[in-house]
Structure 1
């Protein structure tokens, strides 16, 4: 697939990047007079064949407009799309839907914010671009995924040029980026400096909202704004659409519904209150979901994002509907990690899918043991290699459904565990055998502490084909550079290739899969 957008920063995206905030600032210093400004940049999301969503944030009340053109110069075919009024109710953020776009084409856009009382008073436009989904398979698909940003005390380091991995990923020119959870660390305050084991000093850009755990809506919003202080990320957002899902650190480490906190850092003890505020901020700072007429899914994280005949992405929410973390060895578990309603939705949508490849975007791994303290477990696996118990029962039901419904081309992608790996699951190695073989690929962190790899639970027969991880816990990105993954689907053959990558280190592992191949 040609990298048609690599040179765009010499043109309109360069103007957008110039508006990004300097790395050294603790917070943006907007002028409070004159024209409104959209200096937080722009994002695109939920891109389809003929539609997309465009996001921005203003520094004051403003009306949002988006203009599109098939050319970077905006000399021909310019269309204006009216957007919402940006105000304090949404932290001055807003999303404008674009409709009637040409399929399989590069779309250039610019966002303008205008004084709501005088439309002639507008700020400088902020530029972006994206490709609409093709209607045929000829073009192929290429996307990236990773998770975990600004975690474990490692934020924007101006000495290292900030989140440089996003610039490297931008140059890969993907069709979209799957942000696999932990998009912020609301429970991870940042210190201005941290001494590394070798005596060097890691410096963080800091803000008021990142100085404590997030509890108020304003503090959760501030965590999302923090990442947008990085010019690499804002330039990436202007070029690469995002599919965002959440996990635990958008709220608090290892949270589950109904939890009451004993953490002395929190004055708000009810996790459900924190989660409601976090979910609102999450929806404000990523392009919202385009909901079909008649559908009732407002505020829902789990969804299907379709990318032409080659790919459907099933975005899961393994946080909102789960049961409490526990030893997880119960013989019956109707709630599990997905909840009964989401499980039924996933089975139904997988059965309906006609895409060659069905990527299941899970914010937590299946067979990797992830502990919560000394006795409880956070993910699906709980270390018992026997027949399914606890949350494993729900996954067994799903895997059985995939096999019996003859659903082909399923592939699991995840992050969460802060290392990269390729795990193959096969019934001949498993205690539970009523499923078809499949792969799970793990990547991340994109900008957080690195950790050693975890143990595998044999219930579903995982085998580690590749792993690379930090030798000790919470290694900084300076010592353990970020990981991200790449998926490329060839338009002619339908072959899917996964590459596990590392910032500055190229490809670590490659696996190619053929459509309909059994036991890949």
Structure 2
């Protein structure tokens, strides 16, 4: 049995960020009760506390984070999940086999009230480029088993990477079947690009025909609210399956706090909201408590370091961005506008420090693939065929100079294969990236892949991508589909292959997923190349296609997200 290393586990609560180790010999096997149920009941813990499952995240070449949060009653209104107001020691073990026979690490972390009884254990000293399994134990209660894995050695390309990415899971709009299907793909890594949970009270953000299930509690504004809402989502078995299947890299978008928030500005700044910064602080704290993040992301008041860089050996570098916390407020009242503020060179969606960090990362990168994991649409999307440019001010179109500096940055750094991954817009898209979108003859300098929502917007509709006017107005846009789903990629030295997975419905549970389209990005050939497109579903073909104006308005309404 390998000895514990200096980063063996993180104690969250007693002293956030403190590290401690426990001799392995002092710990019992998780199958053996070290404290009886009766003893735990006398201290207020009377039932299984692992109702929120387990998760791992932020892998590197010799370790990763493993996470759980104790909550025997996830929907408790006080946000404490039914846990007594006292610390509980949580045993953890990491295994070299799926059966849990070969223990390679073990220790104890304290789950405390201060941090929502969450546990974040950081591991290092493990072998590179291999699978591990893990679980937790409190008294006689044992958590489900989770699977994690380490990245290849920093000088190795490894044997390829199966990576999936997702976003936008509105609990009320459908069932999380996409998460279940994603788990069944057996990915090595999952990226969640924002809108992990939604802040609305029930019946505020509805779909045609009515929501299929309800949020518990009021709109999230307090720490108790956010903890309760995260717990409601985490209690979903399909989401638990996806977390247990592979390590995740997570970043937020807007709904983890408040729709379309920007830095210290709420969605509706014209309405006095003196408690918005307290709301932001509560949302950040709950986000950390409920995600498999390293100690570097422990929030400090209203600030939280979420942008970071994760390397998958020599094969890929993931630059995970935060386009909410540091942005200038959206221009011209937000929404789709012909907005002069969009081209103001002083405006930024990343903030100056994050922009410098990203450009420096491009200059230093020696990866085969540089992948930018971020929240909102990167390529230009003009919805007006005339001279006016009508674009979303919530996306990079609202920060044109910021986009130009970053695109020019990877061109100047001669980044080998820049790929932008995006969520937010509740539909699948694929596009070429340009330095000058107004001249379609200019060379392509990168690629963007956009994942549809897990549930947000309800079932959606299959359609012929070529009928969407956005693709005619913007020739660099190559694909569109308005069904729910996720994207599965296979990253190898020679190419990146992306399968756009869709489900025919999410308002009923259990649908099968299929590949709607496949795109390939070849090494040193920027831009997306379609290699497969599934024909239009015959049942969908019987429904008359909307007009071009209706399709544009549908897309605008879909993305505005304003109840």
TM-score, structure 1 as length reference: 0.76
Secondary structure (helix, strand or coil) at the match of 2:396 reads coil
CA shift, 1:430, in A, is: 3.2
CA shift, 1:72, in A, is: 2.4
Report the number of matched residues.
Answer: 440
Of 351, 359, 367, which residue of structure 2 is paired with 1:347? 359
Give, in whole Å, the separation in 1 of the partners of 2:226 and 2:69: 15
1:146 aligns with 2:166: yes
Aligned residue in 1 for 2:496: 496
Q: Is the 8 A contact 2:432 2:477 kept in 1?
A: yes
Give, in whole Å, the separation in 2 of the partners of 1:257 and 1:89: 25
Give, in whole Å, the separation in 2 of the partners of 1:336 and 1:112: 46
Q: Is the 8 A contact 1:368 1:457 kept in 2?
A: no
Give, in whole Å, the separation in 2 of the partners of 1:375 and 1:498: 26
Secondary structure (helix, strand or coil) at the match of 1:81 reads strand
The more displaced of 493-502 and 33-42 is: 33-42
CA shift, 1:109, in A, is: 1.2
Deviations 1:174-205 (A, max 9, x none): 0111101011101x2224997954xxx75315
CA shift, 1:167, in A, is: 1.3
CA shift, 1:311, in A, is: 0.9
Of 109, 114, 125, which residue of structure 1 is paired with 2:134? 109
Distance 1:404 1:501, change over 3 A: same
CA shift, 1:137, in A, is: 2.2
Distance 1:254 1:347, change over 3 A: same
Aligned residue in 2 for 1:329: 340
Distance 1:138 1:241, change over 3 A: closer
CA shift, 1:392, in A, is: 0.5
Of 518, 526, 529, which residue of structure 2 is paired with 1:510? 518
1:170 aligns with 2:183: yes
Secondary structure (helix, strand or coil) at the match of 2:129 reads coil
The more displaced of 268-277 and 95-104 is: 268-277
Give, in whole Å, the separation in 1 of the partners of 2:373 and 2:282: 24
Distance 1:433 1:398, change over 3 A: farther
Aligned residue in 2 for 1:43: 55
Q: Is the 8 A contact 1:50 1:103 kept in 2?
A: yes
Give, in whole Å, the separation in 2 of the partners of 1:278 and 1:92: 16
Q: Is the 8 A contact 1:426 1:519 kept in 2?
A: no
Q: Is the 8 A contact 1:370 1:379 kept in 2?
A: no
CA shift, 1:462, in A, is: 5.7
1:95 aligns with 2:120: yes
Matches within 5 A, 1:395-434: 395-427=403-435, 430-431=438-439
Q: Is the 8 A contact 1:255 1:271 kept in 2?
A: no
Secondary structure (helix, strand or coil) at the match of 2:148 reads strand
Of 89, 96, 99, which residue of structure 2 is paired with 1:70? 96
Give, in whole Å, the separation in 2 of the partners of 1:434 and 1:94: 50
CA shift, 1:125, in A, is: 3.8
Q: Is the 8 A contact 2:378 2:396 kept in 1?
A: yes
CA shift, 1:278, in A, is: 0.9
CA shift, 1:497, in A, is: 0.8
Give, in whole Å, the separation in 1 of the partners of 2:181 and 2:167: 15
Distance 1:433 1:346, change over 3 A: farther
Give, in whole Å, the separation in 2 of the partners of 1:128 and 1:202: 31
1:53 aligns with 2:78: no
CA shift, 1:100, in A, is: 1.4
Of 351, 356, 361, which residue of structure 1 is paired with 2:373? 361
Give, in whole Å, the separation in 2 of the partners of 1:230 and 1:403: 43
Deviations 1:467-518 (A, max 9, x none): 112xxxxxxxxxx5x221111113xx43211111113341112121222225
Q: Is the 8 A contact 1:427 1:437 kept in 2?
A: yes
Aligned residue in 2 for 1:203: 212
CA shift, 1:457, in A, is: 11
Give, in whole Å, the separation in 1 of the partners of 2:472 and 2:397: 6
Distance 1:268 1:513, change over 3 A: same
Q: Is the 8 A contact 1:402 1:435 kept in 2?
A: no
1:124 aligns with 2:142: yes
Matches within 5 A, 1:383-402: 391-402=399-410
CA shift, 1:271, in A, is: 3.2
Aligned residue in 2 for 1:226: 232
Give, in whole Å, the separation in 1 of the partners of 2:416 and 2:211: 47
Aligned residue in 2 for 1:287: 292
1:236 aligns with 2:242: yes
Give, in whole Å, the separation in 1 of the partners of 2:420 and 2:237: 31
Q: Is the 8 A contact 2:489 2:496 kept in 1?
A: yes
Q: Is the 8 A contact 1:368 1:454 kept in 2?
A: no
Distance 1:35 1:420, change over 3 A: closer
Of 479, 499, 502, which residue of structure 2 is paired with 1:466? 479
Give, in whole Å, the separation in 2 of the partners of 1:454 and 1:257: 33
Distance 1:44 1:375, change over 3 A: closer
Q: Is the 8 A contact 2:422 2:451 kept in 1?
A: yes
Give, in whole Å, the separation in 1 of the partners of 2:207 and 2:352: 46
Q: Is the 8 A contact 2:191 2:249 kept in 1?
A: yes
Deviations 1:39-84 (A, max 9, x none): 221100011111111111113331122211212233334421332x
Give, in whole Å, the separation in 1 of the partners of 2:308 and 2:102: 35
Secondary structure (helix, strand or coil) at the match of 1:223 reads helix
Distance 1:456 1:350, change over 3 A: farther
Unaligned runs of 5+ in 1: 1-14, 17-30, 114-120, 156-161, 293-297, 383-390, 470-479
Aligned residue in 2 for 1:320: 325
Of 182, 190, 194, which residue of structure 1 is paired with 2:202? 190
Q: Is the 8 A contact 2:215 2:229 kept in 1?
A: no
Aligned residue in 1 for 2:77: none
Secondary structure (helix, strand or coil) at the match of 2:477 reads strand
Aligned residue in 2 for 1:379: 395
Distance 1:217 1:268, change over 3 A: farther
Unaligned runs of 5+ in 2: 1-29, 32-42, 72-82, 298-302, 333-338, 384-389, 462-467, 504-511, 529-563
